[in-house]
Structure 1
Amino acid sequence: MLLLPATITLRESRDTLQLLTQALQSAPGEEVVIDASPLAQFDTSALAVLLECRRLAGAWGKGFSVRQAPPKLAELARLYGVDALLFAD
């Protein structure tokens, strides 16, 4: 399981994506799970990072889901219509 940092805004998004991409490549197993519980400050850039991670995981033949998302992140994902792409049932 990969952990998100406490903050993902436009300022941190590029570095966060680079770190997560490296971690995704070396993640064992057939599914990548990201724990979003540390995330405290974010904007729509967090969704963009997570969607790109999902795309990369799929390209490498791995499943992808986000767990323990803060309620405001889940609400933002619903608003943009991407919640089903990111969050496991």
Structure 2
Amino acid sequence: MAEANPMLSLDALTFASGRAALEQGLAAIAAGETVFDLGGVKAADSTGVAVMLAWQRRALAAGQRLSFIHVPANVHSLARLYGVDGLLPGS
């Protein structure tokens, strides 16, 4: 398994930060990252779930599958609510 990418500059996965987070994650995927450590994320909303799904979709298109660790509890809850928790391994 690849070493976790701490995504250090991500402190939020919200509507306000979604585009920047998406781009940062896509760049990490292009660089070969497959484990995203979201431990630095202190604020998240449904945008976070959408961004994580977009990252997973891009990784799958590249023949990879992402894992997420230290996902904020509210993102876990939202993913379950939306029925997509199975699409976000480790979430």
- Is residue 2:29 matched to residue 1:24? yes
Q: Which one has the bigger helix percentage?
A: 1
Number of equivalenced pairs: 86
Segments of 5+ residues of structure 1 without an aligned counterpart are none
The residue aligned with 1:2 is 5
TM-score (structure 2 length as normaliser): 0.84
Deviations 1:21-42 (A, max 9, x none): 11110126xxx11112211101
Q: Which one has the bigger strand percentage?
A: 1
The residue aligned with 1:53 is 55
TM-score (structure 1 length as normaliser): 0.86
Paired residues of 2:44 and 2:72 also in contact (CA < 8 A): no
DSSP-derived class of the 2:39 partner? coil
RMSD: 1.6
Identity of aligned residues (%): 30
Query: In structure 1, which of residues 59, 70, 73 is the aligned counterpart of residue 72 of structure 2?
Result: 70
Q: Which runs of 4+ in 1 moved over 4 A?
A: none
Query: More displaced, 65-74 or 76-85?
Result: 65-74
DSSP-derived class of the 2:17 partner? helix
Deviations 1:8-28 (A, max 9, x none): 111111111111111110126
Letter in 2 for 1:25: A
